[in-house]
Amino acid sequence: MQKFIQIYTFVKLLAVAFGLSVGGGAVAQDYPNRPIRVIVPYAPGGLPDAVIRRIAPRIEKELGQTLVVDNKPGANGVVAVQSLLSAPADGYTMIFSDAAFISITPIVMKSPPYNASRDLMPVTLAATAPNFLAVHPSLPVKNLAEFVAYVKKNPGKVACGSSGVGTLHHLSFEAMQRSLELDLTHIPFRGSGQSVPAMIGGQTQCTLAALPSLVGHAAVGKARILAVAGTKPSPLLPEAEAMFAGIKGGHDFSFLLGLVARQGTSMAVVNRLTAAVKVGLEDAENAASLRKMGVEPAGLPSDGFAAALRSDAEQLANVARQANLRAE
């Protein structure tokens, strides 16, 4: 119980700190005048890495400076955040990532060495990538209603994989179980790189993952995508039903991909970066490429990103509490 009190305190702190009370500081009129380091808390090839590298050339053209992508995976984003906090709050070191290190790490880690609300500042929400439910083609279901009916007739017999305990995929799974009143067997793996192949190979019968991990398999009949983990269909795959449509207190589980700075970064810098990222996202070639990757461009400014992070953190804290997920 104490851990969940801490989680809710964290969510409240987000509401204050991500209300964008940002300290000033002298900012050079010619920002940026040197390369900008963008830390990605994942290995090369992951979704955040792929997104920032896709839009980086257009952003560089807009800013007149190079973006140096620096992959620093490890410890649920802690390594990346520590690297960010070791640099000045001057706009020349950023993190580009999903929001897990802000909304999930404080839930699954007892004492993270940073306080997201105190130390971090949202710059811009670049894009979102929703989670989808997919099943093995051997499962005799063609849509969400048939899936729900089949699972209820076979309680505990359908195994559903996730990318690991405490991940967005796992929390999506827990919310699905609770909202749709299902009895599934959860099988945690170490990332979608394991959970999706396990489903394709028949070790599990279903999984939750972002579209890029699933769409290729679905195209060749090795997976059937049934639903998106949200309250309405995704424009990325309109034929997939909305899992939580019409459900009171419905959820929307998407990866929030955005740029984060150190708290105290000047709003002049934040606005400059936001405008440049927006230009990169609005580039027709970039936008089309991102959608093919299963990512929907957003381009929200700092306050919009802050609101999305607050909502995400509260939603995930609620699901974690209901699932009795405990920090380790």
176-234 pLDDT per residue, tens: 999 999 999 999 998 888 999 999 999 999 999 999 889 899 999 999 999 999 999 99
Residue with tokens 């490429």: 289
Show me where the domains of the chain are located.
Answer: 2-129+255-322, 130-242
Predicted TM-score (pTM) of this structure:
0.85
pLDDT computed for residue 18 by the predictor = 52
The DSSP secondary structure of 232-278, one letter per residue, reads S--TTSTTSEETTTT-TT----EEEEEEEEETT--HHHHHHHHHHHH
List, in sequence order, every residue forming a beta bridge with 37; answer none if it has no partner: 68, 93
Buried residues in 160-170 as b, exposed as e (16+ CB within 10 A): bbbbbebbbbb
Query: Which one is the CATH code of 2-129+255-322: 3.40.190.150, 2.70.98.60, 2.60.40.10, 3.40.50.150?
Result: 3.40.190.150
Average pLDDT in the chain: 90
Rounded mean pLDDT of 9-24? 45
DSSP state for residue 188 in the 8-state scheme: E
pLDDT computed for residue 247 by the predictor = 87
Q: Which CATH superfamily is domain 130-242 in?
A: Periplasmic binding protein-like II (3.40.190.10)
Six-digit token string for 20: 């964008």
